[in-house]
Every structure is written in structure tokens, then in C-alpha cells.
Structure 1
Amino acid sequence: MQSPTGAPAASGATPAAPPAAPPVAPPIAQTRPSERTLHGEVRVDEYEWLRDKDDPATTAYLEAENAWTQSRTAHLADLRQAIFDEIKARTFETDLSVPSRIRGHWYYSRSFEGKEYGASCRVPVTDPDDWTPPKPAEDCTVDEPALPGEHVLLDLNVLAEGHEFFSLGGSSVSPDETLVAYATDVVGDERYTIRVLDLRTGDLLPDEITGTLGGATWDRAGEHFYYATVDDSWRPDKIWRHRLGTSREDDVLVHHETDARFWIGVGRSRSDRYLMVVAGSKTTTEYRVLDADDPEGTFEVFHPREQDLEYHLEHAVIGGEDVFLVMHNGSGPDFELARTPVRPTPRADWEPVIPHDPSVRLEDVDAFAGHLVVHQRTNGLTQLRILELGEGGITDDYQVGFDDEVYTIGSGGNPEFAQPVVRFGYTTLATPGGVHSYDVRTRETTLLKQTRVRDFDPAAYEQHRTWATSQDGTRVPISIVVPAGAPRDGSVPFLLYGYGAYEMSTDPYFSIARLSMLDRGAGFAIAHVRGGGEMGRHWYEDGKLAHKQHTFTDFAACARHLVAEGWTSHDRLVAEGGSAGGLLIGAVANQAPELFAGLVAQVPFVDALTSMLDSSLPLTVMEYEEWGNPEDDAEAYRTIRAYAPYDNVAAHDYPPILAESSLNDTRVLYVEASKWVARLRARATGRRDFLLKTEMSAGHGGVSGRYKAWHDRAFTLAWVLDRMGLADAPGHAS
């Protein structure tokens, strides 16, 4: 006897049941109405019962939705496989990062063909005066070293063995470079376990700390490390100090943040001189500082929290004097860079280095022995600004620039205080990310590495920046990439992406997966809507709290602009957003469904009012300054109630919708997407083409492992291309 898989059935075993027939109709969720009265309104929720993960009916409903989604997309199986194959073929699966120098070693990561995860490695520094990173062999096999003397610190494939989900929360090498503390999550709920590996012997130390936020910060001697834990609502609220070789029960509580609006974190200055604990809400910051040579000392408040004062602290040496650099908004919303002595200092004594300029949003500063690097943005584009230091202080102030119309630039991989070079990344919508080195001494820029992409011709694509006009007259930037020579007659299908929250900027970026869409004749655009930070602090302020509706009207305006300017047409335009961007998608689905041929909402924050009314949920109280407190504030309740996607589902003919969520997501719970789809099915008119795909072993970032992630993206892109009418269009490989 043969089993349905073709393998011999065990003697006496019951034959496996044949595969279930595909469903012929979408699942209909049970209605179990619950009521809540607040601010004079009785709010009825017929699907809140889906919040109970342990209810078998919840699991049954999610599985039925997955089966329906699988059935409705079965015709796209070949397209999904083709897209996956294209992503895989274009990607150099065996690859390496550019080594970064930390103390006596060059550190880099490796990826291997056929492996889901990578490995972190290092080799010794051979010439202390040479800051040019060694060039590893890019095509070496798994068993071959990429550089002579290579030492594999962490092989993530080994750590992930036996786990359906795996995430590295961070790793940190001790100052003497003999130990590495690393944090892992094997569930997807972002609760990490910290372990310590002896790099000399390969043995794990007995130190093991569960339930952390992820990551560890060493003291200067490498005898202690600091870590954060979260409260029941997933708010980082405690910083602990752990001495190696002792029990967790002996760990010392360094700081407990009792204000539920604030999160906390811990780190060490690039100079290694200071340990810093930062407490921050959406609008207010407070730093505590400790000499890194005195790990058991008391952290001292640099400047006590002051409502609506945000600041960032960095240690620097300017003109031979130790100073703190303070990036703050005390002189204006777009921030100022100031300097102070290395001690608690009142705001009146903060001396400006770069005064506030309403046309330039200062975002961050990195201090090095011979220069400062300021991250800023102007007119929606990122910029790197160099302040050279000499004996008398700052000797020059200029920008590192590029000529592309639409681009993203940002420094990274610069851990050493003494380094005379600035490493930065540069990318555009049509340019694979490149790692560059800028030598401050010679002012020369060197391309160290560009992401390798097989069968890629940058001349096959063109990019543009255009501006839509929103309902209130505000001009909204849009970044666009299309196949070269794409006509402006409305015939090109488009995917419009948006986010618009938390002052997070969605800057232009390159994507290998996106090429599979572009090569089939589609275009891609990013709507830089209010709520993000692209145009400065006012752009964020004008898209939050009482002004949140601007995010949605901006996005609709961008959709209309693309059509009016001939880039596309409404029957070829699909929109996508995730998390808070999923809220955006849900809102425009209610407010302007006629603009789109399809909508993709990933881990969508669509039940915003319910979530913000429950202070026990992860993140809720910390989010009051972003969305409002609808429980205590009637006006905030009415504002959120007016746009919350779930509350405003109505008898519209909605475009087809694909909602994707993850069962173990702690940021946006799976129940939001499931309730939303259930209500859409019950209330919508017309097509009622709604799909819910729930990953049953994943978190907010989706599945783990790059091949799984590629399959996941291929699924979404195949659905998008189908909505565009391009499901049968040949890809580049064809």
C-alpha cells in the first residue's frame, strides 16, 4: 500500500486521509456581540471574541481563512514560484559584508547559498594604522574562510536548528574581545534570551537571562553587562546590571521607569567613556550618565525630563576639551546641536554648535576623535554633514553629496572613536545599496562594496520625484521608479506604498524583489505622507493626534496625482502599507475605495480604537502621545473613532484586499486583521474579495529565514500583479 505522499505506509497503520477539498466559499466568522459605552456612545463589537488565542474557534477561523486564501490564489502558484526564482537568481546567496574595525579585529557577516541564516566572523587587525578594510573572498564555500585567520563567532544556522522561527536580537563583543553576549528569540514575540559565549574556547558560560528586550551593553572592563526587561504591556521599563558568573537573582536594578508613557534603553558612548541610560516618551527625553570605569556607581541625570523637550547625548572631544554634544529641540522643532561640560547642565548653559534652522531637520550626531558627523534632511532628502575638528575646535563644516534626484544616504558601521574615515551607505530606487568610505583627511570617497545583483542593468529603470497637492493645499513628495521609457498615458500599473507615522521617514531604497514587478511593466512609488519625518518635524506633527486625517488625505492625493499626471490609472493602481501603514491602507479603503484596484495591508493597525482603549495591551500607554488617549479624552475618542478602519467599515464596494498578519506579533495583534476581514465580509457590497493570510509561527516582522521571506514576498507580489492585470506578463528571466 502507498500513502498519499508515495511513501510506503507502515504495516497496520491507518492510511492518511486524502487532502481536503478546497473551500468553495469564504469563511463567515461567528458573531458574538459585545458592548462598551464610553463618551456617550454604545459601541458594539461582534468579533472581539477572536482575541482569545486559546479558543478553538479562533484557531479554526484563522485556519479556514488561510485555506480560503490558498484556494483563491492557487492560480498564482506558478507566478509565485517564478518570482521566488527570480529573487533567488538575482541574489548572490554566498556573500559578505564589508568588515568593520572594532579594537583589534575586523568584524563582518557571511551568508551562504542554501542557508536561511548567516554567520558573524572576524579576523585580527594586522596594521593598526591602516583603516582600509580587508577584502574577503566573495565566492568562497561554506567550509572555506573568507579571509586568512577567520574566526566564526556565531553561526545563526546552528543556533536556529530545531526552531521554526529564529531571530537574533543583537550581539555585543566584550571590550577585551574574548566574550560575546547575544540574544535570541525562537517564538517571534520579541522576548529574548541572552547568553554569553567564550570566544577562546567556544563554550557557553552559565550566564543565561530570559525575557529580555534583546541585546547587552558591556562595561569598560567586561566584568558586567547591562540589559533591559519589559513590563506586562511590553514596555521596556527596567535596566539591570549583571556581573558575569553570578546568578540572575543577584542582578542589580539600575533604573526602573515608573511613568508608563516612557520606554528606556542603555548604551555606551562611542568613546567608551560613558554609560548612558535614556528614558523617552514620544515627546520627552531624559538621560542618565555614568563613567564606564565605575560600573557599580550611580547614574547621574544630565538634564531632568521637561515636557516636550527631546534631546540626544553624545560624548566628544573638541579643542582638547571633553564635552557632551546635545541634539535638542529646545530652540525650535527641527533641533539644534549644542555643547556642554561633561556634567549635569541646565538648558540655559547649552552652547549652540549648529543653531536651529527651520529648513534643516537635524536628526543625529556621531562624534569621532577628529570630526563630527551630523545626520540631517532638507526638502525631503537625507544628507551627511561633516564638522572637522582641530586644536581650536571646529575647523570646517560641509556636506558629502551626490547628484541623483532621489536618493538615501546614511552613515553606519563606524564603531571606533579614533577612526579618520566615515563609512556610509548610499542607495536609490534604481541603484543597489553601496557602502562607501569617506576619508576626512583627504576628502576622498571610495566605494568599498555595492550590493551585487545578477542580470541587472540600471539603465533599464528611471526614477523621478514629483509632488502631489493635498486637500488643504500642502505639497506632498512622491518618489517614483519605472521601467525606462515608460509611457505617461495612464497605461502603466503602479504599486503605491505609504506609512506616515512616528516621524519615521520612508526614504527611497533599492529592492531586488521589486525588480520582478518592474520587469513585468509596473511602476513603484512611495507617498511621503504627513505623519512621517521626511519634510521635518512639522511634517510629523501635522500627521498625528488631531491631525491624523492628513495622512490619509495626503495618500489619496498622491493616488489622484499619479493618475492625473498620466503615470497610471485607478484600475491599475494598487496600494500597500504595513503596521501603522496598514492603518493608512484601512482608512483609505473606507474613505476612497474607488481610487485603487487592490490594497495590501500587512500586520495592519486597523482596530486602532479598541487597542488604544486597552491600556493593558503592548505599547498602548506609550502611544498616547502619538494617537491620543481615547479612554480619558472624549475628543481623542471622537478623532480616532472617525478614522479607525474597523469602526468605519461600511456598505461600500471595496477593492480586493489582502491582509497579512502574524499570530505571535506583540506590536499589532493578529486579531486586528482577523476582525477587520470578518467585518468587511459582513458589511461590504459588490465584489467582497477579501483575503486574510495569518502566519501561525511568526512575529511583527513576518517569517524568519531569507528563503521563507522571499516566498512570503513572492506571494504578495503575485497577488499585486494579478490585481494589476500583469499575472501573465513575462518576467525578465523569461
Structure 2
Amino acid sequence: MNPPIAKRVGTRREHHGDVFLDPYEWLRDKANPDVVAYLEAENAYTDEQTAHLAPLRQRIFDEIKARTKETDLSVPTRRGDWWYYGRSYEGKQYGVQCRCPIGDPDDWTPPELDEHTEIPGEQILLDENVEAEGHDFFSLGAASVSLDGNTLAFSVDVVGDERYTLKFRNLLTGEMYDDTIVGIGAGATWAADNRTVYYVTVDEAWRPDTVWRHRLGSGLPGERVHHEPDERFWLAVGRSRSNKYVFIAAGSAVTSEVFYADAADGDAEFTSILPRRELVEYSVEHAVVGGEDRFLILHNDGAENFTLVEAPVSDPAAFRTLIEHREDVRLDAVDAFETHLVVSYRSEALPRIQLWPIYADGNYGHPEEITFETELTSSGLSGNPNWSSPRLRIGTTSFVVPVRVYDIVLATGERILLREQPVLGDYRPEEYVERRDWAVAPDGARIPVSVIHRAGLQFPAPTLLYGYGAYESCEDPRFSIARLSLLDRGMVFVIAHVRGGGELGRPWYEHGKLLEKKNSFTDFIAVGAHLVGTDVTRPENLVALGGSAGGLLMGAVANMAPDLFAGILAQVPFVDALTTILDPSLPLTVTEWDEWGNPLADPEVYHYMKSYSPYENVEAKNYPAILAMTSLNDTRVYYVEPAKWVAALRHAKTDSNPLLLKTEMVAGHGGISGRYERWKEAAFQYAWVLATADPDHHSSGEVDHLFPTPNV
């Protein structure tokens, strides 16, 4: 097949004296049959160009499936008189939410449930497979049980546009309530009266802008509780673990404000805890210390990496500092319980947790670090819904160690391993290597690099280099069953922790946004050059991977350093960034100006963004092989961005390297739904990556593992 060629229709754009003629803006109209025909033609071309990889795709899918315990259930979490857990079943795409009654109210040891035997008193709360019947796409947003345990509120999206329908089930009878709320955000928060539910709706730009409350069974429309008129801010609503307060959080990328109300009062008015101040962010948790209600406030007023203070609920501005600001530690969160606090923080580019006892006299005990033995372990709180519990549930993982769930007995400090994520096929972590490396950016900044590969691998080797670098998001160690299919074929997996992320604290983020955004791109290129310079890989064996804002990273490095990479895989890529950020009606615009700048108002921002936006900077030169993945119903990064980018590349590039666009016609930003379909998608992408990074061994799709795994 010949590749599809999109027609060129000049659309004029003029800002700050700069004129840009956009030949592919017509692709934005997905109601146009010509647009759909073009996307389908690209899909057909991609299918034809990758057909030879079908055997490899099938083997990777089979490996993921064979390593996964398909019929399984999670560790039960106690709440009220029930143990809650999730089930999965072989052959089923989605999970099943369940619960069973507790035996002894004083026993906090999770029951050892068997996925193959009948559990006494088990109640199915929600079978997602049933809800998904008849739909090509399904996503569960909320599944929240009222405090008395009698009603389930759940929300579903069957399109992929992240607008959910909220429904209610009577758990005493199994019957559905007539109450149905359409077109809301994903979440639902119960008040303590067991009748009132808070939820959020979005505006035309998909910004969560209004909080409502609904009284179950009242037959009345929802009552508007709070509206946020500032288009830079979005809203979220939740309940304190103590069940005493409902919080509404209003936040932009750089400023926040939190409101609170009595959770037991279905008519409660919300009060601001601290009035918003530009460039000051804060979050709030409720604690009871020495019999007094207090707010724990994490804020960055004069403290770039945040500081933790406490104040009486009656006077939230009367601060007392608990944790001072530190340049080498980024405070992330604080969680309050009846007898202790848990502080989550980041040090040396890794997430960590600390336990603080609360004494009856109102004082705090000495903080205790919760540590683990391996260098690249991620740790954090797991499911802990209870205000009063003798145990603390935590989870850990690394790139090679599967997820482990522990209970810590607070009275003794004993750590009990409840579960390790099963990996079938005789998986042994010691057969893999995970290590931290450092690369140096052009301006001298030291960039953390995570490197994962099979033990005994000979270098240089095919390598997949991943990056994101935006919104202070951190790419922490995380185990992946699917990734084993790359590692076992001799591929190195590397993460470049570039600026724009938050791995090294708030300054690491600040120096990778706005008018310093290009640091994200040059950091990634520096990591790629470091891998080549240290003989980990060679340019002809190096593939780059990134999605969403990381897709912007992919598009930028394709223009800036095309000779460094054999291929680039861009997932739902933000590659037409300037066009998007110039349009206030789109989801990624007004709320994003604090991240990227406002090119409408500021000529400097406009010209800076235009200098790196991938679509505007496509040139007549050689590019690496490129695979772009997108979804037609994506509301965060519209399908039109990669569609325009691929069309421009195909028109301009001077090489014969493969250029492919794959559009999911029924999906959203997160891609297709259903675990088996996701495994197929992973197999499709990984087969392309392997064939691109190591064509001598994988281009035919027939070669087996470099490291045999006979039990898979």
C-alpha cells in the first residue's frame, strides 16, 4: 500500500505579527466524512505495514497472559462491618467489586480468601463486565459505598470522553435507585448522613468547575454548592478520613484554595480555610490532637519544597510549624489517623514515607522512617479508609520486584507481608538488574536515569528510552509484567527523569516549564547521548517512548535530534501544542497557561512555544521511524494533533523510514478498555519497538527470546 496523503488546505493563523498557514487544520472536524476516511486509511496502512509482526505480537500477548494470574482477588480492606476486595476472572475483561462480612469486630487481620472457593456471605457490589455489556468502551469512574454500608454510588463512561453517568444501588435489596445523574466528572463523595452525595460537573472545556450535592431518593435535581468562575482553576471534592468534614479543593497549576463543611449536615455551608493567594498552594487534612480538631496544612508560602504546619480548626491562620522547609526534601502529602500521622515525601528522586505517633497529651512522637532494602523501591500508603485502626496498610514495588502489600502493626512495629503480586512462569527478580545512573545536561544539571535489563546482558544492546517531564509528575519505580517481554528479548528499558517532572523536588519542575520548557527536551537528548557514550546502546538501536505531555517531548526530540534515535513511539502526543494553547475553548488551554504560558497575551511565550512545538517545526530532513497512537474521543489531547503531525511529516521528511498513525476509533485519552484489549495494544507497540530497535532479530517477527523463559 502507498501511505495516505492528506490534502493541504491553508488555514491562516496570525498572532503577534506572526502568520502561520496551517495546511492540515481541516482534520480537526471529526464530523467531516473526509476526516474519518483519512484516519481509517491511516489505520489500514498501519495494519498493512505491521502485518509481518503478527507472530511476534501474538507471542508477546501470550506471554503477558501466561504470566498473569487471571482469576485472582485483592487483599481485603476493612471498612465498617465488611471486608472489601476486588475479583478478576479468567476470560473477563473487567473486575468485580465484592465484600464479605467481618467475623470478629476486634480482628483486623485480613481473611485469607481463596479465589476458587465460595466465600461465606460474599456480596457482589458491582460486576463491571455486566455494566460493560453492549459497549465497545467502558471505564469505571467511582465506586463509593455510603458510610452505613447500605448504598453504592458508581459512575461509568461508555464513550471515552470522561463524562460519566452516576448511578445508585441499594445494597440491602440489590435494586437500582431511579436516581441517575448524567454528564459528570468521575468521582462521587458521600456525606456522613448516608443520603447526600457530592459530585462535580465540567464546563464545555472539560474543566471541573461546579460542585453539586444530590439527596438520594428525593426526586429533586442536584443543588449547586460551589462554582469556580476563574477558568484557570478546577475543582475536586472529598471527605476527610475522620468523616467529620467534606472538603472542596480549588486549584490551578500554581495556586490553590480549600473549603470545608460539616460532613454530617446535608445542608452545610462551605467555608474557605485560607483565602487564595497567587502562587501559594496548600492542601488540608483533618486531625484530632489532644482532643482538639486541627487542620494539618501543607503549603509552599516561602517554602518551595513545602512545609507542614498545624492550626486549630477555629483559627486556621494560627500556624505552628511541624516540619520545616528543606531544599533536599519535597513534602508531598500528610495523612491523619486517630493515633498517628503518615508523611509522604520525596528524597533522592524516590518517594518515601514516615510515621508520626500522636500522643494523648497533644504532642507528636519521634518520626519513624519506613524503609526497604533495595535502592529503587517506591513506597506509599495503600488502602487505609479507617480513622481508627491498629494497623497501617502500605504498598511497595520496584522495577523488578512485584507490588507487595504490607500491614504494619502500630503497637509493635511488626511488618506483615499480606500479598506479593503473582507473576506466573517461575519469575525470579534476581535475574534482572535495576540501577540508578546520572547523565549531565548541557547546562550542567545532573539528570537521574533509571536503567533496567536482564542480568548477563551483553552491551551495547537495543534500548527503549522513556520520558515524560511535565506537571511535576514523577516516574517512580513500578513493576510491569508486560515489560518482561522486552527485557527477556535483550532490550534495556531506561527512564530519563527530565526536568518538568518532580523527582528532585519543586525546582526540578520549575526549571522544565514555561520559558524553560526546552530543558525537558535537552535533558532527554542528553540522556540518550549518555547511553550511547557509555556503550549501553547505539543510535541505530535506540527507540524513544512518551505519551501525552511526554508525546510533546517525543515530537520535540524528533525535530532536535533525529539522528540519535532509530524510532519514536508517541502515545496520544501533545504535538500541536501552540495551536491548542491558543484556543481557550479547548480543555488543554486556560487551565494549562500556568504550565506552558499564555501565548495569546504574551508575544515572548508565543514565539518560545512556536520555536519548540513539534508540528510547526517539521522540516525537510531525515526522521527516525515513527509510530503515533491516538484515540478519536480523547478530550485531553485531541486526535487531530498526531493526525496533523503525521501528515506534515509525511509531506516534508526526506527519508524512507516507516511513519505510522494508529487511531482507536472508540476510546479516550487512556486508550482502549478491557485488560485483554490493553494487552493486545501493549503487544502491538512492543513488537514495533523490538523490530525498530533490533531489526536484525525481530523484523520478521519470528525470533524467540534472547533469554529463554521455558515456563511461559
SS of the aligned residue for 1:486 comes to coil
Match of 2:65 among 88, 92, 95: 88
CA deviations over 1:654-692 (Å, ceiling 9, x no partner)? 000000000000000000010000000001111242100
How does the TM-score come out when normalised to structure 1?
A: 0.94
Match of 1:131 among 100, 103, 108: 108
SS of the aligned residue for 1:164 comes to coil
Match of 2:329 in 1: 360
1:412 alignment partner AA:
S
2:418 alignment partner AA:
L
Match of 2:396 among 390, 412, 426: 426
- Whether the aligned pair in 2 keeps the contact of 1:165 and 1:187 (CA below 8 Å) is yes
Match of 1:174 in 2: 146
2:572 paired with 1:599: no
Q: Answer with 158-167 or 335-344: which moved more.
A: 335-344
Counterparts of 1:329-368 in structure 2, within 5 Å, are: 329-346=300-317, 349-368=318-337
SS of the aligned residue for 2:609 comes to helix
Counterparts of 1:563-582 in structure 2, within 5 Å, are: 563-582=532-551
Cα distance in 2 between the residues matched to 1:532 and 1:444: 35
Match of 2:42 among 58, 65, 77: 65
Match of 1:385 among 338, 354, 359: 354
Match of 2:226 among 255, 260, 267: 255
Cα distance in 1 between the residues matched to 2:43 and 2:315: 56
- Whether the aligned pair in 2 keeps the contact of 1:302 and 1:343 (CA below 8 Å) is no
1:482 alignment partner AA:
H
Cα distance in 2 between the residues matched to 1:199 and 1:317: 32
- Whether the aligned pair in 2 keeps the contact of 1:585 and 1:601 (CA below 8 Å) is yes
Match of 1:156 among 103, 118, 128: 128
CA deviations over 1:263-307 (Å, ceiling 9, x no partner)? 001110000000111100101111111111222021011111111
Return the offset for 1:223: 1.3
With over 3 angstroms needed to count, the CA separation of the structure-2 counterparts of 1:344 and 1:285, relative to structure 1, is farther
CA RMSD of aligned residues (A): 1.0
Match of 1:9 in 2: none
Where does structure 1 lack aligned partners over 5 or more consecutive residues?
1-23
Cα distance in 2 between the residues matched to 1:459 and 1:426: 17
- Whether the aligned pair in 2 keeps the contact of 1:470 and 1:554 (CA below 8 Å) is yes
Return the offset for 1:125: 1.6
2:676 alignment partner AA:
Y
2:281 paired with 1:310: yes
Cα distance in 2 between the residues matched to 1:87 and 1:363: 33
Cα distance in 2 between the residues matched to 1:421 and 1:476: 38
Match of 2:263 in 1: 292
Match of 1:435 in 2: 405
Match of 1:584 in 2: 553
- Whether the aligned pair in 1 keeps the contact of 2:581 and 2:588 (CA below 8 Å) is no
Match of 1:691 in 2: 660
2:418 paired with 1:448: yes
Return the offset for 1:733: 4.5
CA deviations over 1:547-600 (Å, ceiling 9, x no partner)? 100000110011111111121111111110000000000000000011111100
Cα distance in 1 between the residues matched to 2:496 and 2:106: 46
Return the offset for 1:345: 2.5
Cα distance in 2 between the residues matched to 1:247 and 1:352: 47
Match of 2:178 in 1: 206
Match of 1:638 in 2: 607
Structure with higher RCO (Cα < 8 A, 6+ apart): 2
Match of 1:471 among 442, 446, 453: 442
Return the offset for 1:459: 1.9
Cα distance in 1 between the residues matched to 2:529 and 2:393: 40
Return the offset for 1:247: 3.5
2:623 alignment partner AA:
Y
CA deviations over 1:190-238 (Å, ceiling 9, x no partner)? 0000000001111110100000002211110111111000000000000
Return the offset for 1:246: 2.6
Match of 2:25 in 1: 48
- Whether the aligned pair in 1 keeps the contact of 2:156 and 2:164 (CA below 8 Å) is yes
How does the TM-score come out when normalised to structure 2?
A: 0.97
Match of 2:75 in 1: 98
SS of the aligned residue for 1:394 comes to coil
- Whether the aligned pair in 2 keeps the contact of 1:496 and 1:527 (CA below 8 Å) is yes
Match of 2:477 in 1: 508
2:39 alignment partner AA:
L
Match of 1:18 in 2: none
SS of the aligned residue for 2:500 comes to coil
Cα distance in 1 between the residues matched to 2:394 and 2:42: 44
1:409 alignment partner AA:
S
Match of 1:531 in 2: 500
1:538 alignment partner AA:
P
SS of the aligned residue for 2:367 comes to strand
Return the offset for 1:244: 1.0
SS of the aligned residue for 2:180 comes to strand
Return the offset for 1:344: 4.8
1:553 alignment partner AA:
T
Cα distance in 2 between the residues matched to 1:695 and 1:171: 27
Match of 1:183 in 2: 155
Match of 2:195 in 1: 223
Cα distance in 2 between the residues matched to 1:25 and 1:620: 36
- Whether the aligned pair in 1 keeps the contact of 2:238 and 2:246 (CA below 8 Å) is yes
Which segments of structure 1 move beyond 3 Å, counting only runs of 4 or more?
Answer: none
Match of 1:397 among 367, 373, 377: 367
SS of the aligned residue for 2:686 comes to helix
SS of the aligned residue for 2:213 comes to strand
Cα distance in 1 between the residues matched to 2:360 and 2:32: 69
Return the offset for 1:352: 0.5
Figure out how many residues of one structure are paired with residues of the other and give that number.
701
- Whether the aligned pair in 1 keeps the contact of 2:622 and 2:653 (CA below 8 Å) is yes
1:437 alignment partner AA:
D
Match of 1:486 in 2: 457
- Whether the aligned pair in 1 keeps the contact of 2:165 and 2:184 (CA below 8 Å) is yes
Cα distance in 1 between the residues matched to 2:404 and 2:252: 34
Cα distance in 1 between the residues matched to 2:564 and 2:407: 44
CA deviations over 1:73-105 (Å, ceiling 9, x no partner)? 000000000000000000000011111111111
- Whether the aligned pair in 2 keeps the contact of 1:655 and 1:687 (CA below 8 Å) is no
Cα distance in 1 between the residues matched to 2:301 and 2:106: 41
Cα distance in 2 between the residues matched to 1:510 and 1:339: 36
Cα distance in 2 between the residues matched to 1:577 and 1:303: 38
Cα distance in 1 between the residues matched to 2:120 and 2:437: 49
- Whether the aligned pair in 1 keeps the contact of 2:580 and 2:588 (CA below 8 Å) is no
With over 3 angstroms needed to count, the CA separation of the structure-2 counterparts of 1:212 and 1:597, relative to structure 1, is same
Cα distance in 1 between the residues matched to 2:135 and 2:206: 23
- Whether the aligned pair in 2 keeps the contact of 1:573 and 1:598 (CA below 8 Å) is yes
- Whether the aligned pair in 2 keeps the contact of 1:121 and 1:154 (CA below 8 Å) is yes
Cα distance in 1 between the residues matched to 2:558 and 2:315: 50
- Whether the aligned pair in 2 keeps the contact of 1:501 and 1:531 (CA below 8 Å) is yes
Where does structure 2 lack aligned partners over 5 or more consecutive residues?
none
Match of 2:385 in 1: 415
SS of the aligned residue for 1:356 comes to coil
Return the offset for 1:319: 2.5
CA deviations over 1:140-183 (Å, ceiling 9, x no partner)? 1xxx53x3211110000101000000000011101111100000
Match of 1:301 among 272, 280, 296: 272
1:314 alignment partner AA:
E
SS of the aligned residue for 1:387 comes to strand
- Whether the aligned pair in 2 keeps the contact of 1:323 and 1:342 (CA below 8 Å) is yes
- Whether the aligned pair in 2 keeps the contact of 1:583 and 1:644 (CA below 8 Å) is yes
- Whether the aligned pair in 2 keeps the contact of 1:235 and 1:619 (CA below 8 Å) is no
